[in-house]
Amino acid sequence: MSHVCGVWLGRVSRAGDRLDRVPSPPHRGRTARSGSRRPKGRDVKSNLLRNVLVGAIAVLVAGLLVTSGFLVRVLTEGDQEAAAVSTGVTTASKAKDDPTNYALLAEMAKIIAEDYVDPDKATPEALRDAAIKGIFDALDPHSAYIDPDSYALSRDDFEGAFEGIGATVSKEGDFVVISTPLPNTPAEKAGIKAGDQVLEVDGQSAEGWSVQLAVTKIRGPIGSKVTIKVKHKDGKIETFTISRDKIAVESVSRLPLFGGVLRDAAGDEVKDIAYVRIRSFSRSTPQEVEKTLKDINASGAKGIILDVRSNPGGLLQETIQIADMFLDGGQIFYQQDRSGRETGAVARSGALTNLPIVILQDEFSASGAELLAGALQENGRAKVIGTRSFGKGTVNHARDLSNGGAVYVSIGRWLTPKHNQIEGKGITPDYEVQMTLEELEARKDIPAQRAIDMLRGRPLPPPSKPVATATPTASATPRR
């Protein structure tokens, strides 16, 4: 039956075209073939056959008229209804096109929750999270919604201690990577290495995770365990089960990055150059740096290596205080807000030290680390050695939310003293050094060796050729 109906519906237009062109009955008289008259018996039969055919055609035409009339009515009334609906939508859309009318989102969420074919993907939580993600995807990579648990963890970052495995992380492409494992922490003891790509956490794929989500998944109470699958820089994949602990972080250290003592290219211990590593800018960092500089001034050192490699940044005012310690006046940075208005900070006269400085940075040096490097470099106070830095030059402000979370939003951009943009560009080193995998595995600190030679006034070998670093694909500020 459906097949027959299909055939008829497919031919309605042809029948309709022919309704006003029903052929006239054939002439009674001569046929086209012979011109002779038909016998009467044959005429009777012909008349009978003609009447039957005419009756059948009449029935058929009547059926087609009814069918066509029904279709015409449907199409006509449908057009009228569509026009009426369209007019209503046009009128209503003027009100609903108001971009501040967020009730439309609630209306769509209700429809999706009721009608979507896969209800597990249309839960209120899933739709809310997707809407939040969509909002921040339209902004820069440094603005984000921070859920209550993550917000509580992030506040611990600047208090000098947190509970977790003891590593800083950042985002490269679709994955979070380990910026650096902190010394004497569960991460370092387990074998986690700088540059490790986090593939899974507790069996969950980490692809596409934000830094905030990764931090939330990796951190946890003291004594609890977390299983992390990583891909090392050499391509080897390993899985570690690590017990979390309380990580007390001293933001300033005199211990070289690769441990042991500071050595030059010849392998000799260096005693005339001071080494200072700043891991982050927390509330206690200015006091730690001030004490360290006083010790250095009393030691008779001839220069300072200031190491901010893998420093993810931190608190702005504390960063300004530290830059001020090395400068005797001069602009530290400019801050440009959404209207283009500029403010900034100027160093006071009187530095805590006048020793020459070389700053070490890498592709994980971000935010405050870049502000410090740019301030000292462009004021002629320091040379920078290493690779181009991360390129995070936004000023971010956390606004508390009613659920205990926060909106972390970019409210301005940092510019260097010479008005160079940091965001997306980073700080370009004066001398490029890109370490090889072999040098890393041999724990040879080539950038530090070049810094020693520079401070001693010795000639340097040709710099490394610029290579692609994490910076072009990095999408979020490094975090613990």
Task: List the catalytic residues.
Answer: 367, 378, 392
Residues 406 and 136: beta-carbon distance below 8 Å: no
Residues 351 and 332: beta-carbon distance below 8 Å: no
Strand partners, 227: 241
3-state DSSP assignment of residue 1? coil
CA distances to 30, 46, 117, 205, 421 from 120, in Å = 80, 72, 9, 19, 45
CA distances to 54, 82, 329, 364, 433 from 386, in Å = 99, 67, 26, 11, 5
Name the residue among 445, 458, 450, 460 with its Cα closest to residue 262. Answer: 445
Which tokens is 147 given?
């859920």
Pairing of strands 303-307, 357-361: parallel
Which tokens is 169 given?
């992380």
CA distances to 190, 192, 275, 311, 370 from 180, in Å = 13, 8, 18, 9, 17
Name the residue among 167, 165, 238 with its Cα closest to residue 199. Answer: 238
**CA–CA distance, 134 with 136 (Å, rounded to integer):** 6
- Chain centroid, CA 230 distance in Å: 20
Name the residue among 310, 314, 453, 451 with its Cα closest to residue 384. Answer: 451
3-state DSSP assignment of residue 337? strand
Show Cβ contacts of residue 376 under 8 Å, excluding neighbours closer than 6 positions: 306, 323, 326, 327, 357, 359, 382
Show Cβ contacts of residue 215 under 8 Å, excluding neighbours closer than 6 positions: 150, 153, 154, 164, 169, 479, 480
How many Cα atoms occupy the beta-carbon half-sphere of 5 within 13 Å?
A: 3
| Burial of residue 199, with CB atoms counted within 10 A of its CB: 0-12 exposed, 13-18 middle, 19 or more buried | middle
- Quote the Cα angle for 242-244-246, to 5°: 145
CA distances to 326, 347, 374, 375 from 350, in Å = 9, 9, 19, 16
| Burial of residue 50, with CB atoms counted within 10 A of its CB: 0-12 exposed, 13-18 middle, 19 or more buried | middle
